[in-house]
Structure 1
Amino acid sequence: MYNEYNNIDAVIQAIKAARLPEQVEAMELILVDDGSNDGTAEKLEKYKNDKTIIVHSSQANFGKGTATRTGITYVTGDVVLIQDADMEYDPNDYAALLQPIIEGQAEVVYGSRFLRGARPEGMAWQNWLANQLLKIAANILYGAHLTDEATAYKMFKTEIIKALNLKSRRFEFCPEVTAKVLKKGCKIVEVPISYKGRTVEEGKKIKWQDGFSALWTLLKYRFVN
């Protein structure tokens, strides 16, 4: 999270209220504050006494890739799911994401925003176009059949993501992890999820430059490790 003072409590409550399959024995919640300066870090103090929550606060804003890699170092569970703190994604989809892993059908599951319709609610056409280009690039470069490469809802068996040697700092995390998973020969199973996009005015942080960075990342990791 970065500067999500208005959303973080609602996100945490939604995560804790999410219904999980009976096979899930416990859930740990790792909160990584990526150098917020709007009071988010101070708000997280109240969660430090919760034994199911780990709080990490960075002193500077490094980017999503760095924050995610930091969070992964704390993981002790069998499965990792990345959740942005912006309320665009619904924790009620956790059960659907977990099912292919529980049934032994997948080691990696992506929540696709496009399996329920052409363009999700709130997604600007520019973002839709960027998502389509990234999907096409990933499928051509890696022989995949993805509908949503850039989804934030990416779920992994822990040993898979910890073995990827991730290096990204910003939003290129998504294409890097996709490229490295596919190069390892892991099948990515997609399930439909809910999505409600937000505007820049509402706090959306990804910029058009990040789209070019994502394309370059997909291309780069096709040829290097």
Structure 2
Amino acid sequence: MDVPIKKLSIIIPAYNEGRTIYKILDRVKEVTLINSIEKELIIVNDCSTDDTEDAILEYKSNNPSLNITYYKHEQNKGKGAALHTGIIKATGEYLIIQDADLEYDPSEYNLLLKPVVDGFADVVYGSRFVSGKPHRILFFWHTIGNKFLTFLSNMLTNLNLTDMETCYKLFNTGIIQGLTLRENRFGFEPEVTAKISRVPKIRVYEVGISYYGRTYEEGKKIGWKDGFRAIYCILKYNLFSR
């Protein structure tokens, strides 16, 4: 049975993405969602030190027909904190997370929406490790780390995800707004996965997506310390903070 969705909230955390943020906004603007679903763009600037704010405000001014709301943190708090702000402000029936870089393709929103619209899913993860989509070849140890974190998370949540750390996560807005989320940095991913897995009768799906990864020279921010934090968060939110 089809599920009526009038609006999708697209949450875009941004930190020092002034050079490229207009490119991702252009790509989001170009997407036509299935069933004529409306787009709500929620951009959260996590106290960038470059011209990110000017770039966003200029884009907003030049695209008055695009539903953009803009928020700014006065102190840098981390990606997770920016997502918390965006989640609270979302007004669509469903929301999706979109990084401000160019690693993920907004034209694939409909892939994540389909299990929801068809009445099967409450949450959909976009997996970079399901075959059939373009995937930039970059860092071996990052891939091993991602797969280890997913494996550890799956052991404790009893989910069978292939990519727990993916950016593309589509949530029923009411469900995720009902969670108490605490992680301010990249610990958001294991925390939200742990807490979603405990929602009674939650229906979690996964679809394959493309991945156009960046090098550190191109602006990639996550590092090995974030990997150790993710392990801590997997253990904390699955075993010690239930």
Provide TM-score, normalisation by structure 1. Answer: 0.95
| Distance of 1:195 and 1:181 partners within structure 2 | 24
Q: Does 1:121 align with 2:133?
A: no
1:191 aligned residue: 207
- Which of 110, 133, 140 in structure 1 is aligned with 2:125? 110
2:184 aligned residue: 169
1:215 aligned residue: 231
2:52 aligned residue: 40
Q: What is the CA-CA distance between 1:164 and the residue it aligns to?
A: 1.0
Unaligned runs of 5+ in 1: none
Which amino acid in the other structure matches residue 22 of structure 2? Answer: D
The structure whose residues are more often strand, as a share, is 2
Query: Superposition pairs for residues 1-225 of structure 1, below 5 Å?
Result: 1-24=14-37, 26-49=38-61, 50=64, 52-116=67-131, 120-185=135-200, 186-223=202-239, 224-225=241-242
Which amino acid in the other structure matches residue 61 of structure 1? Answer: N
| Distance of 1:123 and 1:141 partners within structure 2 | 29
| Distance of 1:116 and 1:5 partners within structure 2 | 32
Unaligned runs of 5+ in 2: 1-13
CA contact (8 A) 1:47 1:53 kept: no
Q: What is the CA-CA distance between 1:206 and the residue it aligns to?
A: 0.3
Q: Larger deviation: 118-127 or 30-39?
A: 118-127
Deviations 1:1-42 (A, max 9, x none): 100011100000100111310252x11000111111111111
CA contact (8 A) 1:123 1:196 kept: no
Kindly tell me the number of residue pairs found equivalent between the two proteins.
Answer: 224
| Distance of 1:119 and 1:139 partners within structure 2 | 25
Q: Larger deviation: 113-122 or 45-54?
A: 113-122
Question: 2:71 aligns to what SS in structure 1?
Answer: strand
Q: Larger deviation: 39-48 or 209-218?
A: 39-48
Superposed CA RMSD: 1.6
Identical pairs, percent = 43
1:136–1:62 Cα change, 3 Å: same
CA contact (8 A) 2:133 2:210 kept: no
Which amino acid in the other structure matches residue 64 of structure 1? Answer: K
